[in-house]
Amino acid sequence: MLAQPQDLQFLAFTSKSCFMQGEVEFRSILFVPSVKKEELIDSKTKNIRLYVKRVFISDDFDGELVRIMRKRLVRKAFDMILGISLSENREDYERFWENFGKFIKLGCIEDKENHKRLAPLLRFFSNQSENEVISLDEYVENMKPEQKDIYYVAADSVTSAKNAPFLERLTEKECEVLFLVDPMDEVAIQNLKSYKEKNFVDISKEDLDLGDKDEEKEKEIKQEFSKTCDWIKKRLGDKVARVDISHRLSSSPCVLVSGKFGWSANMERLMRAQTMGDPVSLEFMRSRRVFEINPDHPIIKSLNVACEANPDDPEALRAVDVLFETALISSGFIPDNPRELSGKIYEMMGTAFAGKWTSGSAEVEHSQPSPLPGTQNNEASEAEVVEPVQVEQQK
């Protein structure tokens, strides 16, 4: 026996009774449970599963009849879930998303035929909505008039995403950026590719176009820093594919971005965590990193001067190494040798602090203790007093 609709109101977000006509006629009751039931989900098969009083009977169904039923039921299920998402009570869909959101994302990866039905059901955090998830429709509605693409960045948390250097210029332009903080988010978005004729763009990838390029100014900057870019590339060698002038930075001196067809820092982190990860593929994708520098930053300006004056200066070359390693971390990548990086930082700190707080200066200060309050002025005044009578007697 199937549960009756009046019995489902305590178990589900919503329920729907359907009567299908056409090639096949059948009645069905669809409902979305308010709590995820693990026993109702089997990742090993996509067949329709027959339950009677919550007892599994069989999933061995095949044939044209079952395929027609599945297709119609899937459409009705999408309509019902969409109705929950459009409800005035946002908490209903937030609760649904918390329980079943990963299956919507999985559908974006595996079910290409229903991409248009699945995409409106997705929810993400953003730099303008850090505490409440938003839909793609809400994002498109909030887009700037001149904005052509949907921007996103993948990270392990909202905190990491909002502090990523890739957002600096976009934040200044008040452009919204989606935060993909779930391991499935990035793969799901990459499979969708676009939404309402607007492409998804990863802001951590190379060749980011913000739509505000000044070609003449860009040409002048490239000429001014071309030698410095070549010098940095020579120093870093195979660690980067090339060194470019950045258009996405405003306060950071540099950033490390992924190649257009390579893994992002988030994807590389996930692939590293895979016990069966392919080291050859990992090494190949890593070689496509691009090092971008901010020509307006004082550090880059100083390196530009060092490149012109003395490109073989050991301190300048060491600064390039430290700059690359710190950009590696701030961009979300994992350094190959953290101990070597910390050693370089300590060495530069030692050079910067040399002579500022030495033991000799401390001894001098301790050997001459400060006079007690009120005595210093009296001693000074006594030393300055000269009796005119005594002076005349000495003469």
Q: Is 144 contained in some domain?
A: yes
> Which structural domain range is residue 143 located in?
124-202
Are residues 97 and 131 located together in one domain of the fold? no
Report whether 178 contacts 124 (CB < 8 A): yes
Q: Is 15 contained in some domain?
A: yes
Report the distance separating Cα 329 and Cα 247, nearest Å: 20
Q: CATH number, domain at 36?
A: 3.30.230.80
Q: Is 384 contained in some domain?
A: no
Report the distance separating Cα 287 and Cα 93, nearest Å: 42
Are residues 195 and 236 located together in one domain of the fold? no
Place of tokens 């009677």: 52
Q: Find the distance separating the first CA and the last CA of the chain, reported in whole Å.
A: 131
Are residues 18 and 52 located together in one domain of the fold? yes
Q: CATH number, domain at 192?
A: 3.40.50.11260
Q: Is 154 contained in some domain?
A: yes
Q: Examine the fold and report which residue of 105, 139, 158 is the final residue of a domain before the chain moves on.
A: 105
Ordered DSSP codes for 304-345: HHHHHH-TT-HHHHHHHHHHHHHHHHHTT---S-HHHHHHHH
pTM (predicted TM-score): 0.79
Q: Examine the fold and report which residue of 105, 139, 173 is the final residue of a domain before the chain moves on.
A: 105
Q: Examine the fold and report which residue of 73, 105, 137 is the final residue of a domain before the chain moves on.
A: 105
pLDDT tens sequence for the chain (395 residues): 334 343 333 334 454 545 555 567 777 788 787 777 665 565 566 666 777 777 877 777 667 777 788 888 888 889 989 999 998 888 889 999 998 999 999 999 999 999 999 999 999 999 999 999 999 999 999 999 889 999 999 999 999 999 999 999 999 999 999 999 999 999 999 999 999 999 999 999 998 988 777 888 889 999 999 999 999 999 999 899 999 999 999 999 999 999 888 889 998 888 877 755 566 766 766 658 999 999 999 999 999 999 999 999 999 999 999 999 999 999 999 888 888 888 888 888 887 787 777 655 444 444 454 454 444 444 444 444 444 444 444 44
Tell me if residue 142 falls in helix, strand or coil.
coil
pLDDT tens profile 142-182: 999 889 999 999 999 999 999 999 999 999 999 999 999 99
Are residues 19 and 85 located together in one domain of the fold? yes
Q: Is 110 contained in some domain?
A: no
CA angle, residues 160, 271, 97, in degrees to nearest 5? 60
Are residues 222 and 319 located together in one domain of the fold? yes
Domains of the chain: total: 3
Report the distance separating Cα 290 and Cα 114, nearest Å: 36
Are residues 226 and 301 located together in one domain of the fold? yes
Ordered DSSP codes for 18-77: EEE-SSS-EEEEEEEESS--GGG--TT--S--EEETTEEEE----SHHHHHHHHHHHHHH
Are residues 73 and 165 located together in one domain of the fold? no
Q: Is 135 contained in some domain?
A: yes
**Alpha helices, DSSP H only, in the chain?**
5-8, 64-85, 90-110, 115-118, 136-141, 158-162, 168-172, 185-192, 215-236, 265-273, 279-286, 298-309, 314-330, 338-353, 359-367, 376-384, 388-394
Are residues 198 and 219 located together in one domain of the fold? no
Q: Is 269 contained in some domain?
A: yes
pLDDT tens profile 100-137: 999 999 999 999 999 999 999 999 999 999 999 999 99
Are residues 252 and 181 located together in one domain of the fold? no
Cβ-Cβ contacts under 8 Å for 202 (sequence gap 6 or more): 152, 153, 154, 258, 264
